[in-house]
Structure 1
Amino acid sequence: MAEKVAKPILNEDWTAVWLGAIIILLAVAGFTIPKPAFSWSDSTAFVAKLLSSDNIVAIAGLFLIMYAIAVTGTWLAGKPIRALVQSFPVVFFVSILAMILAGNKQIKDLNLEAVIFSLCLGLLIGNFVNLPQWFRNSLQTELFVKIGLVLLGTSIIFGDMLKAGSLGLLQALIVVLSVWYFAFWVCKKLGVEDDMRMMISSAVSICGVSAAIATAGAISGDTKKLSYVISLVLVTAIPMMIGMPYIAQWLQLPEAVTGAWLGGSIDTSGAVVAAGTLVGEEALKISTIVKFSQNVLLGLAAFAISVYWTYSRKENQAIEKPTLSVIWERFPKFVLGFVFASLLFSFVLSGETITAVKEPLKNIQTMWFVLAFTSIGMETKFADLFHQDNKKPLYGFLIAQGFNILVTLIVAYLLFR
């Protein structure tokens, strides 16, 4: 299913910022965001509440709003629209099913969130249903996550963000430098190729997929190797996202320490949010801020990698010399949207307005994350990891990730306890 790709009007980060800002401003202006009910205890409540005409209308209204936003975002980013138009309803339906499963009283008592069910349903479909490639390519996972993260800023007070952000930046500096060097050393000992080694080191130590992509761009890396590293990041994030909150509970870690551990070691922003949600509000807040602190270092890291790669390898002397503009180019712009939302709700809006819009914005934010994890599941194929003849990059990645988890736990405990 080929479709002509248009020239992007905005990059994906700026698209998420503007769409998130529009959602917030519409809510503040009094636009009603539909709020479907998903909570139920038994079959009687399921039929009476979830299948009522009012609730079906609310779900349909939410679908139309999010559908329009997703199509607009895809158009602004210059990505194929026709494929998304066909795939989004499927992703939304599966996501609604995940919300319904998570809304059951017995499930809620187990503290299992909708993102877990959306991920599991997506993985089942992605690994046991022969989805066409155009469908997988149409999934806008990063866009959905980034819109949700911009909206998450509405629930985080700016003063708390500054306090946690300073500690988060210190943690990020310690972890990024130590983990990056360790991963680079391990992969070199295993005989992993130079460009693959650079991508793995950045992905493990900084911020997963974004860091791998930025590094590949900085060194003109092989796209097939980049795809393999991205697959490693996405697949390993799943057990970390689900298991680490329970390990933290077993270790009896404070929520702030747990949040800092999750935010500093899990390699995708969406998985960080999901794991933080499993723990609690404070863990979610701290984990998000710590992850953003690592994201902010991406521009500096990409610049440093560009310098190293250009001047240390003779065959790369023809590559254009890096400039300071690389820092801004690689800077994750959606962080600015998050900060804007936090500033708006911390200093500008009245308490009455915040009370009126907080819950509707929280609901649509959750829905964006659920959509993102349905998409992650659908685009993740476990078999891809085991079809590689050379397993050394896999071993290097896993060893480095284990070191990352341990070092980040120690640093998080020392800084946030």
Structure 2
Amino acid sequence: MSIQSKKINLHEDWIVVLLGFLIIGISLFIFLPLVPVFKWANTADLQNDVFNFENLQTLFIQFVYFISIGTIGAFLAGKSVKNFLLVFPIVYLLTVIALIIAGNSFVKGLNLEAVIFSLAIGLSIGNFFKLPEWFRAALSTEVFVKIGLVLLGTSVIFSDILKAGSLGLIQALIVVLSVWYFAFWLCKKLKVDDELTMMISSAVSICGVSAAIATSGAIKGDSKKLSYVISIVLVTAIPMMIFMPIIAKYFNFPEEVTGAWLGGSIDTSGAVVASGTLVGETALKISTIVKFSQNVLLGLAAFAISVYWTYTHNTSQGEVSKPTLAVIWERFPKFVIGFIAASLLFSFVLTPEVRDTVKDSIKNLQGLWFALAFTSIGLETNFKELLQNNSKKPLYAFLIAQLFNIIITLLIAFLLFSK
């Protein structure tokens, strides 16, 4: 049984939107949190840069900032503020450790993202130590995730996408639709359960982790299944990030084609940037634009999935019944409104100068909310139980769908971007 996802309700979704825009408002008008330093190469750097007084002070201010936002959320949602205040410092400390590990120059050279270490640390503790039920219940996993998704909207700037022309959007649309339906069909053929089917289809076709999280929120999915899908996405992204640029160079693919291929098929934004950098500046630019174009579709996809789920899983006396508009609205994931509103605000209301002033700070905040969520997901997930309760069919479905994604995206990239 899911601990967090079954407790999150629509009222809390509105709270997430409120908290997301509270953070944006504070960043724009009141206080712009400094970005902590996590980069280090040796012990001296660790001591002088990461653990110096100024950086520790920045980390402490950031801790106070986050625990304050989280406490407001726990209070508004009617959860135990006391338990949250006891649990959050532990989650924050574990997440900072993950960020420090990811900040090492050797680790950065391997292009490993901080969320991988957040999830690994959480899973290690959650599986080797028996955590009390009140501790697990106090983990605000989905709240952290959805705040991060609202803040993700601030980085989806429509003018940046349009500068690259319509090709990126066209490719994103074709890839998302074709890969999503193939993955959905394949999961059904392999008799994967409905929740995993929706999460896998979205993750492999849209934008990996963010899409899986948004889909889980739209269908109120089991957070343990979400953890399973996220783990597959993160692990699969590593070899793709390394070998796809090598393949492109070996066969002398044009940089434009390579960039479109990488951006359309690699599932995490960090891995897309890392792989694009290995190829060249043009590939990096186009891969980023294509990935942004897929991110734009995230809100629309979450809305469509929530409507589909409501129509196919709205039961009355054991039978599926046609939902009313009120039921559709009740089940609609309100955090999607926050994501779209944030994107519209930063695309059309704020000036480029204001965006440039706050973008690094908000990106840091967004990344930390996601990292906190991954730590929490690990802490609340029993991986042994997860593997026992799920056959290998979801893994096979994801890998086959990802191979289809790689092939179809390459063909479309050649059709659209080859000169």
TM class by shorter chain equals 0.7 to 0.9
> Which of 176, 187, 197 is the aligned partner of 1:183?
187
Instruction: Check 1:303–1:69 CA distance in 2 against 1; reply closer, same or farther (3 A cut).
Output: same
Instruction: Check 1:254–1:15 CA distance in 2 against 1; reply closer, same or farther (3 A cut).
Output: farther
- The aligned residue for residue 254 of structure 2 is none
The answer (yes or no) to whether the contact 2:153–2:343 under 8 Å persists in 1 is yes
Cα shift at 1:239: 1.8
Range with bigger deviation, 93-102 or 134-143: 134-143
- The aligned residue for residue 258 of structure 1 is 262
Q: Deviations over 1:266-322 (max 9, x none)?
A: xxxxxx3554465467556644642562553344345445545679xx9734x6532
Instruction: Check 1:84–1:241 CA distance in 2 against 1; reply closer, same or farther (3 A cut).
Output: farther
> Which of 294, 306, 310 is the aligned partner of 1:290?
294
- The aligned residue for residue 114 of structure 2 is 114
- The aligned residue for residue 408 of structure 1 is 405
Instruction: Check 1:180–1:96 CA distance in 2 against 1; reply closer, same or farther (3 A cut).
Output: same
- The aligned residue for residue 205 of structure 1 is 201
- The aligned residue for residue 65 of structure 1 is 65
Correspondence 1:248 to 2:244: yes
Cα shift at 1:183: 1.5
Q: Deviations over 1:125-165 (max 9, x none)?
A: 22223222332232222222222232233333213456545
- The aligned residue for residue 170 of structure 1 is 174
- The aligned residue for residue 14 of structure 1 is 14
Correspondence 1:155 to 2:159: no
Instruction: Check 1:276–1:377 CA distance in 2 against 1; reply closer, same or farther (3 A cut).
Output: farther
Distance 1:246 1:323 in 2: 48
1:81 corresponds to which letter in structure 2?
Answer: V
- The aligned residue for residue 29 of structure 2 is 29
Cα shift at 1:212: 5.8
The answer (yes or no) to whether the contact 1:157–1:346 under 8 Å persists in 2 is yes
Distance 2:313 2:9 in 1: 31
The answer (yes or no) to whether the contact 1:259–1:287 under 8 Å persists in 2 is yes
| Equivalent residues in 2 for 1:302-317, closer than 5 Å | 302-304=306-308, 306-307=310-311, 316-317=318-319
Q: Deviations over 1:190-247 (max 9, x none)?
A: xxxxxx73334323223546546755x7xxxxx9xx5764454244334224443234
Query: Matched residue of 2:266: which SS?
Result: helix
Cα shift at 1:91: 0.9
2:297 corresponds to which letter in structure 1?
Answer: S
The answer (yes or no) to whether the contact 2:156–2:295 under 8 Å persists in 1 is no
- The aligned residue for residue 268 of structure 1 is none
The answer (yes or no) to whether the contact 1:8–1:79 under 8 Å persists in 2 is no
Q: Deviations over 1:245-264 (max 9, x none)?
A: 2343343373432232234x
Distance 2:127 2:292 in 1: 29
The answer (yes or no) to whether the contact 1:273–1:287 under 8 Å persists in 2 is yes
Cα shift at 1:26: 1.6
Instruction: Check 1:23–1:124 CA distance in 2 against 1; reply closer, same or farther (3 A cut).
Output: same
The answer (yes or no) to whether the contact 1:303–1:323 under 8 Å persists in 2 is no
Distance 2:67 2:212 in 1: 28
| Equivalent residues in 2 for 1:369-388, closer than 5 Å | 369-388=370-389
Q: Deviations over 1:344-389 (max 9, x none)?
A: 333332343233222222222222222122222222322113434x
Distance 1:285 1:13 in 2: 29
Instruction: Check 1:63–1:378 CA distance in 2 against 1; reply closer, same or farther (3 A cut).
Output: same
Q: Deviations over 1:67-92 (max 9, x none)?
A: 11122223334444333221110111
Q: Which runs of 5+ in 1 are unaligned?
A: 1-6, 188-195, 218-222, 264-271
The answer (yes or no) to whether the contact 1:39–1:105 under 8 Å persists in 2 is yes
Distance 2:112 2:227 in 1: 25
Instruction: Check 1:379–1:42 CA distance in 2 against 1; reply closer, same or farther (3 A cut).
Output: same
Instruction: Check 1:363–1:81 CA distance in 2 against 1; reply closer, same or farther (3 A cut).
Output: same
> Which of 235, 251, 254 is the aligned partner of 1:239?
235
Cα shift at 1:109: 3.4
- The aligned residue for residue 134 of structure 1 is 134
1:202 corresponds to which letter in structure 2?
Answer: M
Range with bigger deviation, 301-310 or 166-175: 301-310
Distance 1:288 1:381 in 2: 33
Cα shift at 1:172: 2.5
Instruction: Check 1:383–1:53 CA distance in 2 against 1; reply closer, same or farther (3 A cut).
Output: same
Instruction: Check 1:109–1:321 CA distance in 2 against 1; reply closer, same or farther (3 A cut).
Output: closer
Distance 1:112 1:212 in 2: 24
Query: Matched residue of 1:152: which SS?
Result: helix
Instruction: Check 1:118–1:276 CA distance in 2 against 1; reply closer, same or farther (3 A cut).
Output: farther
1:402 corresponds to which letter in structure 2?
Answer: L
Distance 1:328 1:210 in 2: 16
1:173 corresponds to which letter in structure 2?
Answer: L
Distance 1:104 1:18 in 2: 35
